[in-house]
Chain A
Amino acid sequence: MSPQDEAAFRDFVAAARPRLVRTAYLLCGDSHEAHDLVQVTLMRVHRRWRSIERADQPQAYARQVLVNLAASFWRRRLRAPLVALTALGERGEPDPTVAFADRAELWDAVMALPPRTRAVLVLRYFEDLSEADTAKALQCSVGSVKSQASRGIARLRSVLTEQREINSEWHQLPEVVS
């Protein structure tokens, strides 16, 4: 890679990395995993930098790689479910978002969606991509994007409605004074 290409890639990383990390986080729900996914994404972008830069679409390419990697991440998770040995204790870092419990129900519902559906919602509602661009990033048809988005939104609506009904009933319970 020429020095000019290296410089251009560095500029790209500096500009695009924060956004990619955030998108990755929304895709996988884990901040550390998000950083890892972006690191691997950038490695792959770097390998093909010249061609994707010529095509003037490094951002789109990186996003596409990231979405695919996130899908692989979920496949890995599903293949090898891990059982935590809580008796041994953990040194893991606390989830930085724990303090921000607002919309926790919606977040949980999004995380419970199938990875593909979640990717559609993240690209449509966070990345603000059009249906066509989302389809391009996910390498699927526009029709598929529409149906995935529709199913995802319907699922979220159902979960939230149910949850809010439960909350409402809970608040209507008479207070018990002991």
Chain B
Amino acid sequence: MTEQIERELTEMFHERAAHLDVLPPLPAARARRARLQTALAMASVVSVLAAGGVVGVRLAASPAGPSAALAGSGSAREALERVAEHMLTGRWHVSGTERVYEPNTADPPGSGSDKPMSFTVDVDYDGQSKTGVARQNGEITAIQVGGVAYVPLHAQPDVLAYLPKGARWQRTPFPMFGQDAAALVTGASAGVSTTSGPSGSPLGPGTSGNGLRGATVRRTSTGFRIDAAAPFGGSSRTDVKLRADGTISSVHGESHVRIPNAANSGVTNETAIMDATFTPLTAPVDVAAPSPSTVVTDKQLGVAFQKAFKNGPPGSRPCPPSVMTPSPTMTEHRTTNGGSVTMTQTMPMLTCRLVPVAPGQGQGQEQGTPANPGTSPSPH
């Protein structure tokens, strides 16, 4: 019997292992950078609110009483509601740091997201006027005036060429502060989607605050603790300390998140530790909306992007799909000095065969050129 079980065990192990799809360490650069550009500055604040908010929704929607996810329900619920109310309607300053470990090792070197990093985040917010400003390492990363939010415009020169001269800000299609958490906490279930927040929303793709699919809140002697599961399998633990008046004093969070790459189903991981201190603001938030002539909308940006890349990157010409052929695989090596990581990946590349060119039309694209250098990884 024992021998039979051992044999079955060996066979089962090999069978399971053989069926496992071993993913190459592929990049999640796009989601990661989107998050870095617009979301990280607020992540420390809204992840707490969102986690609380999810429970708020559950409580509000449950006719049978407190959610099973909430331990010590009465006091925890009251504490959460008080915190949410203060965060949404009060006036506060939060100063936090987020230290990222075990970084996304598949990102290209130099992109900024491939190394262990530390961010200092400062957010001033006035809930009454829905006005706020976020700074990351001293630089403004977002402002919001009267519920309308703007982020600094980061566009390549080719795209900028199709935008109004002097454009420096991008108006976001959603508020940066308050909105998501407000919707969640008030339990306005219509339109509340904690699982599909827009990419680049304050909750950000892949952050622990976005798409929470499990949250357990426990009352502690100094506040409460939130254990949550992030999308794609990560988890986070957030300890919130409260003052005697029920407002947040400080937050310590540890999260282990996975960052998906929809294009190729690759997933990379990231571990981050966040500490933040909350203090009441006495003066109004001193920030003004940027001049309209310096602001572009998402739509304008999209049109400019399409125009800029309609014919492929500058210096190239369109490559008809019929001539795109998979080439032999290429191997690329990525080095992360900060994290002391070197990874290799092998992936198929689409290349463009020589395109026949009619006389007078210039030269065709050469064989072996990556079909889309803008998105192909840069060998290191």
Contacts and interface: CB of A to CB of B under 8 A. Distances in A.
Interface stretch (A58-66, A102-110, A134-142, A168-176): A102-110
Contacts of B5: 153, 156-157, 160
Contact of A88 (B54, B102, B258): B54
A85 B6 contact: no
Chain B interface main SS type: mixed
A138 to B, nearest CB: 17
Which of B8, B20, B61, B68 has the most A CB atoms < 10 Å from its CB? B20
Contact of A103 (B8, B25, B102, B237): B8
A106 B17 contact: no
A36 B258 contact: yes
B267 A14 contact: no
A80 interface: yes
Interface string B241-267: 000000000000000101000000101
B16 A107 contact: yes
A78 to B, nearest CB: 12
A92 B213 contact: yes
A17 B25 CA distance: 10
Interface residues of A, number: 55
Given A82-B214, A82-B216, A85-B215, A106 B233 contact: no
B58 to A, nearest CB: 6
Given A10-B344, A46-B341, A92-B233, A39 B25 contact: yes
A25 B19 CA distance: 11
B98 to A, nearest CB: 19
6 contacts: A17-B22, A35-B25, A87-B58, A103-B8, A106-B9, A125-B9
| Minimum-distance CB pairs A-B, first 3 | A22-B17, A126-B13, A82-B214
